[in-house]
């Protein structure tokens, strides 16, 4: 088991999606997510306000698979303090659900 930020967890499962179609993402996620899945982080292309998969994925995790999730736009990764902000969002998702 990994122990990071005082949370015990198994190593993450990485799923690579080569499509930009939401239907492909949805189908692959449905086939890979299990009842043991605790949180999902998706890295998608786009900048703030310009991620065509952002809203459909958020809706998917709110309605079809209510799993704590964080959708990250590739344009935000290079921003200052990204890791700090990302960790705070993940901590919030884990503690609120």
Spell out the domain ranges in the chain: 38-97
To which H or E segment does residue 32 belong? Answer: helix 22-32
Question: What is the C-alpha to C-alpha distance for residues 43 and 89, in angstroms, rounded to an integer?
Answer: 14
When pLDDT is cut at 50, 70 and 90, the band that residue 39 belongs to is: confident
- Give the mean model confidence (pLDDT) for residues 13-29: 93
Question: What is the C-alpha to C-alpha distance for residues 83 and 70, in angstroms, rounded to an integer?
Answer: 13
Q: What is the pLDDT of residue 13?
A: 85
Q: What is the pLDDT of residue 50?
A: 72
CA 69: distance to chain centroid? 5
**Is pLDDT above 50 for 2?**
no
pLDDT digits (tens, 9 = 90+) for 48-87: 767 889 999 999 999 999 988 888 888 877 777 767 777 7
pTM of the model: 0.75
* Cα diameter, the chain: 37
């Amino acid at each position: 088991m990994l122990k990071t930020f005082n949370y015990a967890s198994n190593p993450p499962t990485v799923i690579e999606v080569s499509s930009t179609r939401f239907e492909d993402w949805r189908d692959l996620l449905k086939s890979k997510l299990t009842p043991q899945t605790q949180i999902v982080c998706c890295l998608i292309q786009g900048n703030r306000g310009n991620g065509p998969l952002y809203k459909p994925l958020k809706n998917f995790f709110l309605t079809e698979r209510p799993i704590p999730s964080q959708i990250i736009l590739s344009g935000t990764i290079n921003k200052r303090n990204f890791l700090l902000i990302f960790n705070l969002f993940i901590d919030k998702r884990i503690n609120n659900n």
